Amino acid sequence: MPKISIKAEIIFHLFALDITNSMIASVIVFLLTVFIALYFKKQSTLSRKSNFYYLIKFFVKSIYDLFHSVLGDKTNVFFPILFAFFFYILLENWFGLLPGVGSLLIKVKEGHEEVFVPLLRGNNADLNTTLALAIISVFSIQFFSIKYLGIKKYLHKFFNFSDPISFFVGILDILSEFSKILSFAFRLFGNIFAGEVLLTIVAFLVPVLASFPFIGLEIFVGFVQALVFSMLTAVFLSGAIAEHH
Amino acid sequence: MKILAVAISIAVGAVAPAYAIGMIGTKAVEALGRNPEAESAIRTTMILALAFAEAIAIYALVVALILKFA
* A2 — pLDDT class (breaks 50, 70, 90): low
Which residues have a Cβ under 8 Å from the Cβ of A101 and sit 6 or more positions away? A25, A95, A118, A120, A121, A122
- Burial of residue A179 (CB within 10 Å: 0-12, 13-18, 19+) is exposed
Report pLDDT digits (tens) over A58-74. 888 988 988 888 888 88
- The Cα–Cα gap between A178 and A200 comes to 33
d(CA B32, CA A166): 37
Give the DSSP per-residue string, A170-196.
HHHHHHHHHHHHHHHHHHHHHHHHHHH
Question: Is there a contact between B61 and A194 if contact means CB atoms under 8 Å apart?
Answer: yes
Q: Is A217 on the interface with B (CB under 8 A)?
A: no
* pLDDT for res B59: 82
Q: Tell whether the model's pLDDT for residue A245 goes beyond 60.
A: no
Nearest beta carbon to residue A197 from set B40, B55, B65: B65
The answer, yes or no, to whether residue A221 has pLDDT greater than 70, is yes
Write down the pLDDT at residue A87: 92
Stated as kind and residue range, the H or E segment containing A107 is: strand A105-110
- Per-residue pLDDT, A133: 92
Considering only CB atoms, A186 lies closest to which of B40, B62, B69, namely B62
Q: Round to whole Å and give the CA distance between A39 and A56.
A: 10
Hey, how many other C-beta atoms are within 10 angstroms of the C-beta on A104?
A: 11
Which residues on neighbouring strands pair with residue A13, listed in sequence order? Answer: A18
- Region of A208 on the Ramachandran plot (φ > 0 left; ψ -120 to 50 alpha; else beta): beta
Q: What is the pLDDT of residue B4?
A: 92
Q: Which of B58, B63, B66, B67 to mutate to test the interface with A (most CBs of A within 10 A)?
A: B58
> B2-69 sits in which CATH class?
mainly alpha
What's this model's pTM, rounded to 2 decimal places? Answer: 0.85
Compute the nearest-CA separation of B66 from chain A (Å): 7
**Which of chain A's residues have a Cβ under 8 Å away from the Cβ of B55?**
183, 186-187, 190
The mean pLDDT value for A139-147 works out to 91
Q: How confident is the model at residue A131 (pLDDT cuts 50, 70, 90)?
A: very high
Taking only the tens place, the pLDDT of each residue in B59-69 is 888 888 888 87
Phi, psi of A107 (to 5 degrees): -90, 125
pLDDT tens digits for range B4-30: 999 999 999 999 999 999 999 999 999
Residues of chain A with Cβ-Cβ distance to B44 below 8 Å are 66, 69-70, 231
Q: How many CB atoms are located within 10 Å of the residue A97 CB?
A: 18
Q: Residue B18's pLDDT is what?
A: 94
- Residue A224 at interface with chain B, using a CB cutoff of 8 Å: yes
- Closest residue, chain A, to B41 (C-alpha): A69
Phi, psi of A116 (to 5 degrees): -100, 125
Over chain A, what is the mean pLDDT?
85
Residue type, A164: P
- Return the SS3 of A159: coil
Residue A22 has pLDDT above 80, yes or no: yes
pLDDT score at B15: 93
pLDDT band at A140 (very low <50, low <70, confident <90, very high): very high
DSSP A18: E
Distance CA A65, CA A72 (A): 10
Over residues A232-244, the pLDDT tens digits come to: 898 888 888 887 6
The CA angle A41-A44-A46, to the nearest 5 degrees, is 120
Q: Is the pLDDT of residue B58 over 60?
A: yes
Closest CA of chain A from B24, distance in Å = 16
Q: What are the boundaries of each domain within chain B?
A: 2-69
| From B41, B47, B55, residue closest to A187, measured CB to CB | B55
Nearest to A185 by CA among A109, A121, A125, A120: A125
What percent of the residues of chain B are helix, what percent strand, and what percent coil, each to the nearest 5?
A: 95, 0, 5
Residues of B in contact with A7 (CB under 8 A): 70
- A and B: number of Cβ contacts within 8 A: 47
